[in-house]
Amino acid sequence: MLLFKTALQSLIGNGLKTWLTVFVLSLAIVMIIIMQGILHGWSRQAIDDAQRWELADGQYWCGGYDPWDPFSLDSATASIPEPLARQVEQGLLEPVLITQATVYPEGRMQGVMLRGIRPGQQLLEIPTAVLRGDSMGPVPVVVGAFMARQLKVKLNDEMILRWRDKNGAFEAVDIRIAGVFKTAVPSIDNGVLWIGLENLQAMTMRQGEANILVKSEAAEVIEVEGWTFKTVDKLMEATLLLVKTKSAGTSVFYVIFLLLAMLAIFDTQTLAIFRRQREIGTMVALGMTRGQVVKHFTIEGSLYALLAIVVGAVWGTPLIWYLSAVGISFPMEAAEFGVPMADVMYAAVTPGLVLGTVLFVFVVTAIVSYLPARKIATMNPTEAIRGKIL
Amino acid sequence: MIQKFVILMLATTSLLPAQNFPAGKSILEKVDQNMSARTRISVSRMEITMARGSRTIEAKSWSEGDKNAFTEYLAPAREKGTKMLKTDRQLWIYSPATDRVIQISGHMLRQSVMGSDLSYEDMMNDTPLLEQYSAIVDAAETIGGRSCWVVTLTALAPDVSYHQQKMWIDQERNVPLKIEMYARGGKLLKKIELSDVKRVQGRWFPMSMLYKDMLKKGEGTRMTFLDLQLDTALPAGIFTKASLK
């Protein structure tokens, strides 16, 4: 306790220099917590958005279906087999048929992915009810806000859609933008046009067929030949890997912050030991062991971390609360980024994250404080009092 | 009496087209004799007019029916040396910049050739019309001072790209001078205007074709044959991957 008291007194005695070091260290602590919190919040949000808009509780993929190879889509569709068809009828599975097509908004040609989904579905948040339309007018389709901007179309705009049926024959109809939705999931927005499933099945002559079946929580996973079930974890693998990579990338920033703080502490400690040789010699002469003096200086250095934690808590807590409750908005669109990303991201800060960061910073500070203090162990007290040791 | 006269008139007029117009099948036969060849070696120029300007591509092609084709791009400098091999449903491309041969999905054949109004399929398709379509002669019209039969072609099988085509066929030379291609639902998708009909090894052949995607804005893509040899022996091994490098 005595060591702690004297260490604290010497630290406070350093004045502004101490508080500057403490502030930089507190900045490092809060930044680590915020950045990690935002990345954690992003991955949590990405999974949540993807489940609400695209994946639900997983997907069955028809054999050969590869979302990254649009040219293989035609050969990756099949009739829905009996046990799964029953679940489709009960609304437990949502079939999606996908085909390549071309749209001509205002005479411009643009390749799109045409995705057929049942207008009455409730599983995904895509506003499919408007896909019912009347059979006489242009075929209704819905698009994401990003796609609408790409096509330069707005609600109720009409254009020509051209595609090939399953035999390869061309067909074309007029379509109408019946709905525009805003989503944070780019894979259902960027380059995608949603159309009524039965319409698309008739258009492509693929009655009763689908490429994927989206599973609801209530549906049981069944082993069916020719179809493979993919869990949400599996389907989100690439996105989560990206978040992880981003997390590793951002660690560069807090390594820089930490380095700055640690450099300041190391420098202060080295200078203190050089300047306070007489004090060290006196302490040893008065009966303190070299180990106790080393401990004194290590505690003094480590106190920077303790003070930084207190200071960081004072200014960081309201900021972290704000970022958790109100979030931070990003000007970019999710579809431009290519991965699920909401307009507003919230920091997901857990007690584990805070404790882990604080402990990490404390241990690093203690090590950095100990390193220059080791020299004290080799001191001769009489030489130290004379100031001729270092 | 009047009733008999009306019936006679109706019968006569309804019989008229059948009497004056030749059978569609015989016209298609003659068109195939002109246009379809067992082998073809050509040097062609493709002028693509787009909203942002135009570009010209020159290529030399060797083809055998509609199964095998080999193309080497001669111009522009950026594309020069690029080679493309198609065998049945497989497609390979050799790029001199990377010195690599890449296999491309057969579905790519349906994509546009370098931003033009033609797909690879359009360019390579040499299946005789008679094998794909039935034909009915609808009318006789004049195009560019040439008398033509207006023939409606309807696909015989569901896997033909264009369900229906309308052709204006030169009555004397048996070469189409205008073609309109329709979707199954009747929408006009593509139009081709054929001109500069010349004698090539005893056949009439249009040396210039203007392709226009009717759903798209733009002036279309003009394909001109600078040199054309039909039913000529092809170099051995031209349709093998070895010829790409």
Domain end point (choices A230, A247, A278): A230
| Per-residue pLDDT at B110 | 67
**Helices within B21-119 (DSSP H only):** 24-35
Q: Write out chain A residues lying below 8 Å of B107, CB-based.
A: 71-72, 74
| Per-residue pLDDT at A189 | 93
- Residue ranges making up the domain that contains B58: 23-237
Q: For the segment A214-234, what is each residue's pLDDT rounded down to a tens digit? A: 999 999 999 999 999 999 999
B50 → chain A, closest CA residue? A108
Which of A21-30, A205-214, B203-212, B230-239 shows the lowest mean pLDDT across its residues?
A: A21-30
Q: pLDDT > 70: what percent of chain A?
A: 94
3-state secondary structure of B21: coil
Residue A132 contacts by C-beta under 8 Å, 6 or more apart in sequence?
A119, A120, A140, A196
User: Can you tell me the mean pLDDT for A258-271?
Assistant: 80
User: Can you tell me the mean pLDDT for A72-97?
Assistant: 91
Chain A residues 176-215 within an 8 A CB cutoff of chain B:
205
Q: How far apart are CA B151 and CA B104, in angstroms?
A: 37
Domain count, chain B: 1
Say yes or no to pLDDT of B6 above 70. Answer: no
| Shared domain check, A382 and A248 | yes
Q: How far apart are CA B40 and CA B236, in angstroms?
A: 14
| Shared domain check, A166 and A119 | yes
Q: How far is the alpha carbon of A271 from chain B, nearest alpha carbon, in Å?
A: 59
| Per-residue pLDDT at B15 | 44
**Residue B2 belongs to some domain of the structure:** no
Mean pLDDT of chain A: 86
Count Cβ–Cβ pairs < 8 Å, chain A vs chain B: 66
Say yes or no to pLDDT of B7 above 70. Answer: no
CA angle A354, A257, A318 (to 5 degrees): 45
Which of A128-142, A272-286, B13-27 shows the lowest mean pLDDT across its residues?
A: B13-27
DSSP string, A16-42: HHHHHHHHHHHHHHHHHHHHHHHHHHH
Instruction: Give A62's pLDDT tier (boundaries 50, 70, 90).
Output: very high
**Residue B12 belongs to some domain of the structure:** no
| Shared domain check, A106 and A224 | yes
Contact state of A109 with B110 under an 8 Å Cβ cutoff: no
Q: For the segment B79-111, what is each residue's pLDDT rounded down to a tens digit? A: 899 998 988 777 888 999 888 998 876 666 667
| Shared domain check, A149 and A30 | no
3-state secondary structure of A126: coil
Phi, psi of B14 (to 5 degrees): -70, -25
State how far the alpha carbon of A364 is from the alpha carbons of A261, A262, A316, B242, in Å: 10, 8, 20, 63
Q: Give the per-residue SS3 of A212-274.
A: EEEECCCCCCCCECCEEEECHHHHCHHHHHHHHHHHHHHHHHHHHHHHHHHHHHHHHHHHHHH
- Residue ranges making up the domain that contains A195: 59-230
Closest in A104, A168, A173 to B159, CB measured: A168
Domain end point (choices A169, A198, A230): A230
Residues B206 and B197: beta-carbon distance below 8 Å: yes
| Per-residue pLDDT at A332 | 62
DSSP string, A147-160: HHHHHT--TT-EEE
Q: For the segment B150-199, what is each residue's pLDDT rounded down to a tens digit? A: 999 999 999 898 999 999 999 999 999 999 999 988 999 999 999 999 99
Considering only residues B57 and A292, tell me which one the structure prediction assigns the higher pLDDT: B57
Among candidates A290, A251, A248, which has minimal Cα distance to A28?
A: A251
Residues B93 and B104: beta-carbon distance below 8 Å: yes
Q: Write out chain B residues lying below 8 Å of A162, CB-based.
A: 183, 189, 215
**Residue B71 belongs to some domain of the structure:** yes
| Shared domain check, A166 and A104 | yes
Q: Count CB-CB contacts under 10 A for residue A2.
A: 8
Domain count, chain A: 2
Phi, psi of A167 (to 5 degrees): -90, -10
Question: Which residue has 């002669």 as its token pair?
Answer: B137
| Shared domain check, A253 and A118 | no
The residue among A68, A69, A71 with the most chain B CBs within 10 A of its CB, best to mutate, is: A71
Q: How far is the alpha carbon of B162 from chain A, nearest alpha carbon, in Å?
A: 6
Q: How far apart are CA A135 and CA B150, in angstroms?
A: 34
**Residue B10 belongs to some domain of the structure:** no
Q: pLDDT > 90: what percent of chain B?
A: 56
Considering only residues B152 and A291, tell me which one the structure prediction assigns the higher pLDDT: B152
Say yes or no to pLDDT of A54 above 90. Answer: yes
Say yes or no to pLDDT of B135 above 50. Answer: yes
User: Can you tell me the mean pLDDT for B124-146?
Assistant: 90
Contact state of B189 with A74 under an 8 Å Cβ cutoff: no
Contact state of A168 with B215 under an 8 Å Cβ cutoff: no
| Shared domain check, A298 and A194 | no
Instruction: Give B219's pLDDT tier (boundaries 50, 70, 90).
Output: confident
Q: For the segment A120-168, what is each residue's pLDDT rounded down to a tens digit? A: 899 999 999 999 866 678 999 999 999 999 999 999 999 999 999 999 8
Domain end point (choices A176, A207, A230): A230
Q: Write out chain B residues lying below 8 Å of A71, CB-based.
A: 105-108
Q: Does A107 touch chain B (CB under 8 A)?
A: yes
Say yes or no to pLDDT of B64 above 80. Answer: yes
State how far the alpha carbon of B243 is from the alpha carbons of A368, B80, B84, B99, B227, in Å: 67, 16, 10, 13, 21
How close are the terminal C-alpha atoms of chain A, in Å?
Answer: 29
**Residue B243 belongs to some domain of the structure:** no
Q: Does A110 touch chain B (CB under 8 A)?
A: no
Which of A10-14, A156-160, A365-369, B3-7 shows the lowest mean pLDDT across its residues?
A: B3-7
| Shared domain check, A114 and A208 | yes
| Shared domain check, A25 and A68 | no
| Shared domain check, A303 and A219 | no
Q: Write out chain B residues lying below 8 Å of A173, CB-based.
A: 185, 187
| Per-residue pLDDT at A32 | 87
Closest in B157, B184, B217 to A171, CB measured: B184
Q: How far is the alpha carbon of A67 from chain B, nearest alpha carbon, in Å?
A: 15
Q: Does B238 touch chain A (CB under 8 A)?
A: no
**Residue B15 belongs to some domain of the structure:** no
Q: How far is the alpha carbon of A333 from chain B, nearest alpha carbon, in Å?
A: 27
The CATH number linked to B119 is: 2.50.20.10
Phi, psi of A200 (to 5 degrees): -65, -40
Say yes or no to pLDDT of B149 above 80. Answer: yes
